[in-house]
Amino acid sequence: MITPSSSRVRIDIQVLRSAAVLAVILGHFSPQRFPGGFTGVDVFFVISGFLITSQIISEINRSSRLNLVAFWMRRIRRILPAAISVITVVVVTVLWIGVPDQIDLLTRHVTASSLSAENLLLSWDAVDYNHRDDITSPLQHFWSLAVEEQFYLVWPVVIAATLLLSRVSQLPTKLFLRIVLLAVCAITIASFIYATSLDLANPATYYDPFARAWELGVGAAIAVMGPVTASRISTRARHVISIAAWTVVVGVSFWPGLAEFVPGLGVVPSVVATGLIIMCAAPMTSFRFGAVTKAISGLVWVGDRSYSAYLWHWPVLILAPVVIGIEMTFFPKIIALIIVFVLSALSFRFIEQPIRSTTSTLVRRPIFLATISASLTAVLIVGTVTATGIATKSLDPVSAANLLPPTSAPSPNVAKPTYPLVQPFCKGAGAAVFECPPSTEVLFGTQSLPSYPPATPTCVPLESANYFDCVLGDLNARNSIVVVGDSHAKSLWVAWDDVGKRLGVAVHGFFLNACPFVIGRGVRCDTRNDDVRNRILAGEFDFAIMVQAVDHMRRIPDPKERWDFQATYRDLASHGVRFVVVKDNPGVGEDERNCVIYNRLDASSCTMPRAKGFAFDDYAFDVARELDLDTIDFSEIYCDRSTCPLVIGGVSVYRDYRHITAVFGKTLGPFLYDQFVTLGLTTQNN
């Protein structure tokens, strides 16, 4: 994505840039039509490896030395201004439109993008249970820029070390280049073997910098050996090879299924083809057809602005539907594409070009440039942290903490509800039970209350090798109950706190992500479950509550899992333990979840079929019913007979694809209390 600093511009490389950025943009705007568009990033990687290595070798040939500080300052001057501008606009836009989901992610992604670590953040999030279902950040595309910047940081040091070794050993320049080529080939081969050996089912591998290093290494190798190799090929052969390679570069954008083999074999066609085009250096000005010449000129224009186009396209695609309040169909996407290229042209003209071509000695001084860069980055990060903190506190017109008691009364002629102990109210779950005025505007964002329990002396919100032990409810009570389960149990922490206060008991929450209370889930889960079982059997708690997620990754029924739940529950029942199993909430698809984000003022259309929400067997609940154990089922709160709304009583029900929001969980508290009392699940003092 970085243009050469020399005055000599290769038209074929500029056209390659154009093809790469257009592939990426079209792949993101229309993934069905351009399923392989993501390979444009790989084209950029090869180009960057070639250009940067060419510049380094050129400097060594010219001055017999490599000024690392000057090299890094040139990179900063080239990359930072446009990147900081885009990040700043994203921050202002997200705060302006006030989408809680995006505001919640803003600080983390701004910090990672500003520090060239977005790929590392996405890798961590991909395997982090608390973040792997986060909504898409408008800065997510900075991952590829981060990979390149990490290359710029490491690769010049490798060449500088090789140069120093050559000087000490008094090696001739020709031998020095062979050593550099040997280093490039060794790193490239090692990286490729590493990339092809990774577990591609793990989404973190997509952003792994070493798994991507071989792509930049191909470009670097061509920079060292390309001119010599190309000189041995006839002009006609170079043209034939280039045409074939161009066919591959363009064709892979339409190639479905490649994404399943990234970052390994799936990007080999685009990487090899790009390398061949660069190595052959076939002239593109020999065409005699005016239309072709004009097309090439247009592509060069796009190539010149490819860096800005790449930076702007993703924020526009992600934030535009939120701003306009509708999903992106064909014509809105066309308008968005026009906006992308207008912003790219303006960014190139008024940000990239003036700073890159400035003759000011002050701007070119390393100390001044480093100070300004560090200051801008620090101000951006600190400003984002401060602004998001202020915005988070003022997101909701009514404090979510005051959802209960009721803010409005139902119709006086409403029939006696299923939950007789619940005082009528019309926010969240109450609107699904009582006769209430329609409320389809999202009044409470997903982060109006913390997703998980905040840190207190009795609740340490960190998972250890054992389990998350959190005490809620009436902390001074002598009696206690226990809630044991996974992150779905933890998501209901506000409800457990409310139930504990209503019952006058302490609620011990033993939460461990991806670990239901069932035997046979591996050492990590069994350690927690065995400890909790021993405390339950010792009579430490008056009764127990089991909450666990349905396995949405299961594709076929698993009889063993059903048997495991049977063995677990029969074991507790045989010891006289009173416990209740809560049915899991429905799951949500990506389209439905995005609907709420795009339609916060009127989310009445944001529903999904009930059959889709409950598409997977809830083994824990089904087994409890079969064994005639106590169960709680809120399916009729989440859904009506045919559909499941994603906004109920002004409250967004889901914070991601599987977990409900803490705000909606709070509105379930009175209903949980009602069910416990109805089932006779109260403490010894009551």
- DSSP output for 421-436: TSPP--STTHHHHS--
* pLDDT given for residue 389 in this prediction: 75
* pLDDT given for residue 229 in this prediction: 62
Distance CA 643, CA 9 (A): 59
Nearest to 682 by CA among 481, 404, 457: 481
**CATH assignment, 441-644+655-678:** 3.40.50.1110
Long-range contacts of 399-408 (CB under 8 A, 24+ apart): 400/444, 400/448, 400/449, 400/663, 400/666, 401/449, 403/427, 403/428, 403/444, 403/651, 403/663, 403/666, 403/667, 404/498, 404/666, 404/667, 404/669, 404/670, 406/430, 408/436, 408/437
Q: DSSP states of 405-416 as a string?
A: S-SS---TTPPP
Distance CA 4, CA 407 (A): 63
| CB distance 675 to 429 below 8 Å | no
What length is written for the chain?
686
**Token pair for residue 86?**
């885009």
Q: Report helix, strand or coil for 275.
A: helix
Q: Report helix, strand or coil for 90.
A: helix
C-alpha distances in Å from residue 305, one per residue of 181, 300, 316? 31, 9, 16
Angle at 181 between CA 175 and CA 187, to 5 degrees: 140
* pLDDT given for residue 364 in this prediction: 73
Mean pLDDT by 10 residues, the chain (686 residues): 50 94 95 93 97 93 89 92 95 83 85 94 78 80 96 94 83 81 94 90 88 96 76 81 94 90 92 94 59 82 96 93 77 93 95 84 78 88 84 56 52 62 89 86 73 78 58 91 92 92 92 86 83 92 93 61 90 94 89 76 87 90 95 95 92 87 92 93 63
* pLDDT given for residue 394 in this prediction: 57
For residue 660, the 8-state DSSP code is B
* Helix, strand, coil percentages for the chain (3-state, nearest 5): 60, 5, 35
Distance CA 402, CA 400 (A): 5
Q: Which helix H or strand E contains 507, and what residues bound it?
A: strand 506-511
| CB distance 667 to 652 below 8 Å | no
* pLDDT given for residue 213 in this prediction: 96
Going 117 to 119 to 125 to 131, the CA torsion angle's sign is positive
What residue spans define the domains of the chain?
11-391, 441-644+655-678
Residue 645: what are its φ and ψ, rounded to 5°?
-70, 145
Q: Report helix, strand or coil for 647.
A: strand
| H helices, E strands: number in the chain | 26, 10
Residue 544: what are its φ and ψ, rounded to 5°?
-125, 155
Query: For tokens 């010149």, what's the residue?
Result: 304
Nearest to 215 by CA among 150, 260, 159: 150
